[in-house]
Amino acid sequence: MGFNPITAAGALGILAAVMGNENSVITTVDLSEVYVNPDFITMKKKMMSEKKGFVVIHGSMEAEFKKKVRITTYCVFVLEFAFWLLTCA
């Protein structure tokens, strides 16, 4: 079976579905591979205050991920440029 990534919007939808179902017996939602957004964090806090003992595990914020991607892309560019300079000399 292939990996089907969930977006931040999908993670928010999962929390909303669990929160909207008062008869739900789910106590833990593991979204550790999902980058979330501020709306998700707000709903998570609300849900955890309403449902005692409920646990939500998630990845980092989308903004942090995008920042890491930009830094990594810049570092790769600098390294490639340095390599090019060394090969030209």
In the chain, domain spans:
8-88
pLDDT-derived band at 74 (thresholds 50, 70, 90) equals low
Residue 8 has pLDDT above 70, yes or no: yes
Cα dihedral 82, 85, 87, 89 in deg (nearest 10): -140
DSSP label of 53 = T
Give the up-direction half-sphere exposure of residue 63: CA atoms within 13 A in the CB hemisphere: 3
- Predicted pLDDT of residue 38: 84
| Spatial distance between the Cα atoms of 63 and 68, rounded to a whole number of angstroms | 9
Inter-residue contact 88 to 61 (CB < 8 Å)? no
The pTM assigned to this predicted structure is: 0.58
Across the strands, what pairs with 29?
A: 56
- Predicted pLDDT of residue 62: 54
